[in-house]
Structure 1
Amino acid sequence: MVVGFLLRVFSAVLYYLHTAILFTWTDYKTIFLPITVFACATAPVRSFTDLLQCWVWVWFHQLLCNVSNQARSREEDRLNRPWRPLPSGRISESQAYALRWATVLLCIFISSIYDQDLVLTTLGLVVTTFIYDELGAAGNVIGKALCTAGGYASFELGATTIIGANHEMDSVSVTAVIISGILIFTAIQAQDFPDVEGDKAVGRMTFPIYAPELSRLLTLFATVAWSIFLSWFWGVGPISTTAFISFGIHVGMRYYLWRTLEADRKSYLIFNVWLMAAHVLPLHARTSVLAF
């Protein structure tokens, strides 16, 4: 009888863990990995313990954002990602809303373990997410870009603070977060190209829907311009500069020239690799590792 009870508990834990992973699955490449790389390079990382704490903080905050977003995008996900917890029936809308606010409290608690400033970072992410999902900023081109940039900045502040010496930010870290936020604001439309049909179905206005040609042209310009600027700003060496700029040109040209759904999905994956490369560059300010 005890064994049966334990098996049921274990089965339930696996079920809900699987559900949580499904909520966060598509954003490991867009949030978890880029934010981790940014924090490790910018802080920089000093021990595996700090890295593990960073992973925990980022994952639970990612879950917060994912649950909030998906609680209101069930119809869109039926078209684009039917395997997610809501369209697949693993969780009800009322349960998703309850989980959404439970994760807020959990994230506040996790941040409170460190200091008040990290709690404020969590609250900033909660406010940004609320504006994005509950107040309709997700359906507005500028509002979406602003909220996404603010969300990324919150993630970067939190992750870098946890990994940094004495859990503090210095001038290099602050500068890197500011630059990254502006980069995200100008290039975040890269994530919208693969989701055009789903966004149209729910009446969401994204940059690729509002201006199909201009959005691709500006994505090309943004990736190239940021590659040039970041290489210059962080003072990396000639070979590193050439490689990074060439990568940026490749990413931008993919978006501009290859416009099928499958091509856009692959382009967004490559964009995130480029973004992670951009996030590594601040490490050069501390170690000159990219002087070649």
Structure 2
Amino acid sequence: MKPNTLYHHASFSWLQIMPLTTSLITFIDAAVYHSNTLWLFTKSDFMTTMIPISLFAIVAAPLTSLRNLPHLVFWLWFHLLHFNTSDQTASFEDETNKPDRPLPAGRITLHTAVLLRWTLMPMCWALSLAYSKEVMFSSMALSVFTGMYNELGGSGSHFVFRYALNGLGFAAFEAGTALVAKEDKTFLDSAGWLTIFLSGSIFATTIYAQHFCDVVGDSLLNRDTIPLRFGSISRTVLLCGVVAWSIGLSYIWKLDL
């Protein structure tokens, strides 16, 4: 074969490969971009939701096999993504308080975010049913509380009702995650349910701590929060509440004081 013929064949092969390479790079770039968008939906809640609820499930279940650890973490994150896509469709507040989130940052349109929110709900149920009916019931309960809070106006209601919804939603997160952490994913004992009840109650009565840094956005939305309603005294009440819960839990669990 002549040298120019070899060159012709090599060039022809490279020209065939180039579109495939370009398509692969484009696909990888898109996958990285959209994965980062999903991450940004949940980024701000890792310290307030992912870590504490994961640790809660490990202790409350309790976790007896490390093979369940990635399952509980993924179940929790996937449901947090579902909740946050619902919560963050009210992007007006995020433009003021959290401009790096996907909607105010322009990474996703409101229409697409709403579509993602409603697509994730049955996906969460299907994922949960793969573990047990009891896990699916926790997922469905979380979906109900999410809808009540975001789509049915609970987030703009009186602070007592809104904080109660927050506590119920948090408890649903904990119940599902704790069940996934167990070997028997159909059962939690009475101590486990008591722990979930107490944890949800603590969350409902202390969640307003996060509203101290959101007063600007909350005031623009005319949202009824304890920091806006009661001002600086709410900081003192929060401190007293934490102390009271600490003492109360010590008695409930019969700890030495």
TM-score for the superposition, normalised by structure 1: 0.78
Paired residue for 2:183?
Answer: 165
Paired residue for 2:231?
Answer: 212
* Displacement after TM superposition at 1:237 (Å): 4.5
The answer to whether the aligner puts 1:99 opposite 2:116 as a matched pair is yes
Residues in 2 aligned to 1:102 and 1:3: alpha-carbon distance in whole angstroms:
32
CA contact (8 A) 1:80 1:198 kept: yes
How many residues are paired up? 237
Residues in 1 aligned to 2:205 and 2:89: alpha-carbon distance in whole angstroms:
27
Alignment of 1:237-252 (within 5 A): 237-238=256-257
* Displacement after TM superposition at 1:34 (Å): 0.8
Deviation by residue 1:41-83 (Cα, 9 ceiling, x = unmatched): 11111122111100010000000111100011x1111111111
Q: Which moved more, 1:226-235 or 1:148-157?
A: 226-235
Paired residue for 2:147?
Answer: 130
Residues in 1 aligned to 2:120 and 2:175: alpha-carbon distance in whole angstroms:
19
1:110 to 111, 127, 130: 127
Alignment of 1:1-150 (within 5 A): 1-72=19-90, 74-140=91-157, 141-150=159-168
Residues in 2 aligned to 1:55 and 1:76: alpha-carbon distance in whole angstroms:
28
* Displacement after TM superposition at 1:231 (Å): 2.3
Residues in 2 aligned to 1:53 and 1:101: alpha-carbon distance in whole angstroms:
23
Identity, in percent, stands at 35
Larger Rg computed on CA atoms: 2
Q: Which runs of 5+ in 1 are unaligned?
A: 239-292
Q: Which runs of 5+ in 2 are unaligned?
A: 1-18
Residues in 1 aligned to 2:161 and 2:26: alpha-carbon distance in whole angstroms:
45
Q: Which amino acid in structure 2 is aligned with residue 192 of structure 1?
A: H
Residues in 1 aligned to 2:164 and 2:256: alpha-carbon distance in whole angstroms:
32
User: Which SS does the other structure have where 1:192 is aligned?
Assistant: helix
Q: Which moved more, 1:58-67 or 1:74-83?
A: 74-83
CA contact (8 A) 1:132 1:143 kept: no
Q: Which amino acid in structure 1 is aligned with residue 35 of structure 2?
A: L
* Displacement after TM superposition at 1:101 (Å): 0.7
Q: Which moved more, 1:205-214 or 1:110-119?
A: 205-214
Paired residue for 1:285?
Answer: none
CA contact (8 A) 1:139 1:206 kept: no
The answer to whether the aligner puts 1:236 opposite 2:248 as a matched pair is no
Q: Which amino acid in structure 2 is aligned with residue 186 of structure 1?
A: T
Residues in 2 aligned to 1:180 and 1:173: alpha-carbon distance in whole angstroms:
11
* Displacement after TM superposition at 1:213 (Å): 3.7
* Displacement after TM superposition at 1:116 (Å): 1.4
Residues in 2 aligned to 1:16 and 1:232: alpha-carbon distance in whole angstroms:
48
Paired residue for 1:252?
Answer: none
Residues in 1 aligned to 2:251 and 2:68: alpha-carbon distance in whole angstroms:
30
TM-score for the superposition, normalised by structure 2: 0.89
2:172 to 154, 177, 180: 154
1:188 to 202, 207, 223: 207
CA contact (8 A) 1:85 1:91 kept: yes
* Displacement after TM superposition at 1:181 (Å): 1.4
Q: Which amino acid in structure 2 is aligned with residue 116 of structure 1?
A: K
CA contact (8 A) 1:67 1:96 kept: yes
